[in-house]
Amino acid sequence: MLFASALSTAFTELLDIEYPVVSAPMADVAGGRLAAAVSRAGGLGLIGGGYGDENWLRREFDRAGDARVGCGFITWALAEQPALLDLALSYRPAAVMLSFGDPAPFAAAVRASGARLICQVQDLDQADRAVACGADVLVAQGVEAGGHGCGRRTTMTLVPEIADLLAARDSTIPVLAAGGIADGRGLAAALMLGASGVLCGSVFYAADEALTTPAARAVVTAATGDSTCRTGVYDVVRGYRWPAGHTMSVLRNAFTDRWHGAEAELAAAGDPVGAQYRQAVADADYRTANVTVGQAAGLIRAAASAGDIMAGLTAGAARLLGSRSGG
Ligand SMILES: Cc1cc2nc3c(=O)[nH]c(=O)nc-3n(C[C@H](O)[C@H](O)[C@H](O)COP(=O)(O)O)c2cc1C
């Protein structure tokens, strides 16, 4: 089978899945339906544990039903509520992904549970630390990515550099590329760069099963990669205490135009602006509310089911990789 041979990697073997595609554990966006749909389509779907809400997490694991899914946490937020990891592990996830903080305090519990430990990193130092604490898989996240990130490394250079770093240590830990991948070209390119697969967020933000509104999905499909910015304004208005250096990729709108670069003024503005923001979220008014995607927005032309997104990614990549080898 063309697909099986072109897209079978160290990562698909390790996770015992068909295709080397993971849907990101997007806070408030990646619930159980999305994760289950991605896993049922042959990839690995991750539920977004986000900033930590026990009831939300239970509900979304329940919604995933009997699909074999995993879960991801924002590590600094998990450190404030470590019991959420036990809750997640009680659902016997296939994998737990940790991003944005020190994974070491949680690594042993994840691995002892039988779940694979996936660590998302943004530079070589973090890659080193993740390997030292026993990561089974690394995700190399470039600055093109949707949602939060830090530093300035791009997917194009970070992925092969981390692949080389692992090879130099005779490590067989698979690397996934994250940031800017939304179609078969991106998946094929990631494999050429030395990745064993991809982790995609933005393209699944526009999936029918995502916990996003139809209006937000329509905004994404009309956007180009030029419409994004990296900013802290939505963290200020939501009161999230992200560690220094982290920014969030969103589509530019009237809110980012007003407040980006004026974060101190925004913080001082206090509740009236917070209330406006919350109202805009409730009204699905994306002149003020955030549409959290990265530069891949320009490659997302239509909302689609997660199954169709998976089929597009995998068939496109298999075709490109097959034609390259004459197969
Ligand atoms: C809406 C959204 C929310 C995200 N939330 C999280 C999160 O809670 N935890 C996390 O590890 N990564 C999160 N990410 C980042 C992804 O893990 C991943 O690095 C990114 O989506 C990959 O780039 P792409 O968006 O170009 O596919 C989020 C991404 C998006 C688009």
The pLDDT tens digits for 137-172 are 999 999 999 999 999 999 999 999 999 999 999 999
CA distances from 98 to 11, 67, 148, 180, 323 (A): 17, 21, 13, 20, 36
The amino acid that residue 19 corresponds to is Y
Closest ligand 1 atom to the C-alpha of 200? Answer: 27
Among 21, 22, 23, 26, say which to mutate for ligand 1: greatest number of ligand atoms within 8 Å of CB.
26
pLDDT of the residue at 6 = 84
- In angstroms, what is the span from residue 69 Cα to ligand 1's centroid? 17
pLDDT digits (tens, 9 = 90+) for 247-276: 999 999 999 999 999 999 999 998 899 999
Distance CA 91, CA 126 (A): 28
- Residue 109, class by beta-carbon neighbours within 10 Å (0-12 exposed, 13-18 middle, 19+ buried)? middle
- In angstroms, what is the span from residue 148 Cα to ligand 1's centroid? 7
Closest ligand 1 atom to the C-alpha of 145? Answer: 23
CB 123 within 8 A of CB 98: no
Distance CA 144, CA 160 (A): 16
Please tell me the pTM assigned to this model.
0.97
pLDDT of the residue at 5 = 79
Distance CA 168, CA 10 (A): 17
The order of strands in the sheet holding 246-251 is 147-150, 246-251, 228-231
Provide the mean pLDDT of the chain: 96
pLDDT of the residue at 52 = 87
Q: Which residues have CB under 6 Å of ligand 1?
A: 24-27, 29, 48, 50, 72, 74, 99, 120, 141, 144-147, 178-181, 199-202, 205, 292-294, 296
Minimal-distance CA residue to ligand 1 atom 15: 147
Distance CA 263, CA 171 (A): 43
pLDDT of the residue at 3 = 55
DSSP 34-64: HHHHHHHTTSEEEEE-TT--HHHHHHHHHHH
- In angstroms, what is the span from residue 327 Cα to ligand 1's centroid? 34
DSSP 59-93: HHHHHHTTS--EEEEEHHHHTTSTHHHHHHHHT--
- In angstroms, what is the span from residue 99 Cα to ligand 1's centroid? 10
Given a cut of 70, the residues of the chain with pLDDT beneath it are: 1-4, 324-327
Among 57, 100, 144, 148, say which to mutate for ligand 1: greatest number of ligand atoms within 8 Å of CB.
148
- Share above pLDDT 70 across residues of the chain, in percent, rounded to a whole number: 98
- Which H or E run contains 166? helix 155-168
- Structure tokens of 287? 């002149």
Minimal-distance CA residue to ligand 1 atom 5: 26
Q: Report the relative pairing of strands 70-74 and 197-200 from DSSP bridges.
A: unpaired
- Residue 39: phi and psi, rounded to 5, are -65, -40
Question: In degrees, to the nearest 5, what angle opens at C-alpha 58 toward C-alphas 146 and 99?
Answer: 35
Query: At which residue do the structure tokens 């064993």 appear?
Result: 196
Query: At which residue do the structure tokens 């916990």 appear?
Result: 211
Closest ligand 1 atom to the C-alpha of 203? Answer: 27
- Residue 14, class by beta-carbon neighbours within 10 Å (0-12 exposed, 13-18 middle, 19+ buried)? middle
pLDDT of the residue at 137 = 98
How many CB atoms lie under 10 A from the CB of residue 88? Answer: 24
pLDDT of the residue at 4 = 59
Closest ligand 1 atom to the C-alpha of 179? Answer: 23
Distance CA 50, CA 57 (A): 9
- In angstroms, what is the span from residue 182 Cα to ligand 1's centroid? 13
